């Protein structure tokens, strides 16, 4: 089913219909923004169509079944026992992150990000008038780890939040329990709240540990942000949720969510999320098999036919391509990708300074489209 080629042009989607706006050329093959070219599972389509046939689209109700579905998904997928009272719904992980920035820091406070990282997170910090504190990831031969010694050296009394991306977009790491525990202990010692963006948690190829599931002390300083958007290709429905076992943190966050009026989730978003979590296990396993084989194919094809270096991601369908072997200026690589390969990738520099010479490649498409795109790259980058 994932082999089916879907014509997404003129469906009001960012990936295909915003190419002109973002890249100045509508005729590129899109391997950029993080959504998939796959049809959503039939059970979600049916749930949405059933609701759509009602013909009255007034405000939605946050039924208790949605909270139960989230709780059961956390248990079945990630062996994490949560209480439904720990959950707050929101209309997107990024809006929820922005609300956390406001709830747990003040203007001019410092917030840590570990670059290269999903850029709206640090853009949110700046637009909310906080200071970004960079703790760049370390890497050896393309395998990234957190630099905890550097982290300890940059913390000041003004450091209020650590932003964790887990699994990490764009480098594809699934942080081990030991890495997470060590990180969290530094935050606990320094009274820092952790915002753990776990939106890619379901698309993993090794054991994923939700940060807050490790122990009560860590749970007590953590807000977990998540959504069914990435996993089930329903990100455009803008439904997400926040989880924290700490009542004080939850009250503060709920207050900001209400002030910003971002708790009123679209009625189709609620229905899709509930259906995804109630019925999605088998579909998700099939999806992961397909993505995994796309990743294997991409890595083998690039290694055989080009000098592009790429490490196998432990999570997501995103590959972090390293063009440094070509000894070209970053902007030259970018220009060649756009003008000669005619392909749209995410510019590594948007994820942080250490994204120089990197471009992010989205492999979540049919095998035919994947091979076409890779052929365009290797026709120029030999």
Which residues make up the interface to ligand PLP (CB under 6 A)? 34, 92-94, 118, 165, 169, 197, 199, 227, 229, 235, 240
CB of 145 to ligand PLP, least distance (A): 18
Alpha-carbon distance 231 to 277, whole Å?
10
Joined together, the tokens standing for residue 75 give 């248990």
Contacts of 57 (CB under 8 A, 6+ apart): 267
The strand pair at 143-145 and 138-140 is best described as antiparallel
CB of 91 to ligand PLP, least distance (A): 8
CB of 267 to ligand PLP, least distance (A): 17
Closer Cβ to ligand PLP, 102 or 197, answer by number: 197
Closer Cβ to ligand PLP, 306 or 363, answer by number: 363
CB of 27 to ligand PLP, least distance (A): 24
Burial of residue 220 (number of CB atoms within 10 Å: 0-12, 13-18, 19+): middle
196 has which bridge partners?
A: 164, 224
Closer Cβ to ligand PLP, 121 or 337, answer by number: 121
CB of 243 to ligand PLP, least distance (A): 14
Position of tokens 């990234």? 144
Closer Cβ to ligand PLP, 197 or 322, answer by number: 197
Closer Cβ to ligand PLP, 41 or 92, answer by number: 92
Closer Cβ to ligand PLP, 98 or 155, answer by number: 98
Alpha-carbon distance 38 to 287, whole Å?
9
CB of 169 to ligand PLP, least distance (A): 4
CB of 253 to ligand PLP, least distance (A): 16
Alpha-carbon distance 287 to 294, whole Å?
11
CB of 327 to ligand PLP, least distance (A): 30
Alpha-carbon distance 44 to 304, whole Å?
39
The strand pair at 193-197 and 159-165 is best described as parallel
165 has which bridge partners?
A: 197
132 has which bridge partners?
A: 111
Closer Cβ to ligand PLP, 89 or 377, answer by number: 89
Alpha-carbon distance 272 to 238, whole Å?
10
Contacts of 331 (CB under 8 A, 6+ apart): none
Closer Cβ to ligand PLP, 262 or 381, answer by number: 262
CB atoms within 10 A of CB 39: 13
CB atoms within 10 A of CB 222: 27
């Amino acid at each position: 089913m994932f082999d089916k080629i879907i014509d997404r042009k003129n469906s009001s989607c960012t990936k295909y219909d915003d190419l002109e706006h973002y890249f100045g050329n509508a005729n590129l093959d899109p391997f950029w923004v993080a959504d998939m070219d796959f049809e959503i599972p039939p059970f979600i389509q049916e749930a949405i169509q059933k609701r759509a046939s009602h013909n009255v689209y007034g405000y939605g109700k946050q039924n208790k079944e949605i909270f139960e579905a989230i709780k059961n998904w956390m248990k079945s997928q990630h062996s994490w026992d949560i209480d439904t009272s720990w959950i707050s719904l929101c209309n997107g992980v990024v809006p929820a992150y922005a609300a956390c920035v406001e709830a747990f820091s003040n203007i001019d406070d410092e917030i840590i990000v570990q670059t290269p990282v999903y850029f709206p997170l640090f853009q949110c910090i700046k637009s909310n008038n906080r200071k970004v504190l960079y703790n760049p990831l370390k890497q050896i031969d393309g395998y990234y780890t957190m630099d905890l010694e550097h982290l300890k050296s940059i913390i000041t009394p003004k450091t209020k939040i650590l932003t964790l991306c887990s699994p990490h977009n764009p480098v594809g790491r699934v942080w081990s329990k030991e890495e997470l525990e060590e990180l969290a202990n530094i935050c606990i010692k320094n009274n820092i709240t952790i915002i753990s963006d776990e939106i890619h948690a379901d698309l993993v190829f090794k054991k994923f540990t939700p940060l807050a599931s490790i122990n009560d002390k860590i749970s007590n300083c953590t807000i977990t942000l998540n959504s069914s958007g990435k996993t089930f290709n329903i990100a455009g429905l803008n439904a997400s949720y926040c989880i924290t076992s700490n009542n004080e943190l939850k009250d503060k966050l709920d207050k900001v969510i209400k002030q910003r009026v971002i708790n009123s989730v679209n009625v189709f978003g609620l229905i899709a999320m509930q259906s995804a979590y109630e019925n999605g296990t088998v579909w998700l396993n099939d999806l992961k098999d397909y993505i995994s084989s796309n990743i294997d194919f991409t890595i083998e094809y690039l290694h055989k036919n080009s000098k592009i270096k790429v490490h196998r991601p432990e999570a997501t369908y995103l590959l972090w391509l390293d063009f440094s072997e070509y000894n070209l200026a970053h902007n030259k690589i970018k220009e060649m990708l756009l003008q000669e390969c005619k392909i749209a990738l995410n510019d590594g520099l948007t994820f942080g300074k250490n994204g120089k010479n990197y471009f992010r490649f989205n492999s979540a498409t049919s095998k035919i489209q994947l091979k076409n795109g890779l052929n365009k790259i290797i026709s120029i980058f030999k």
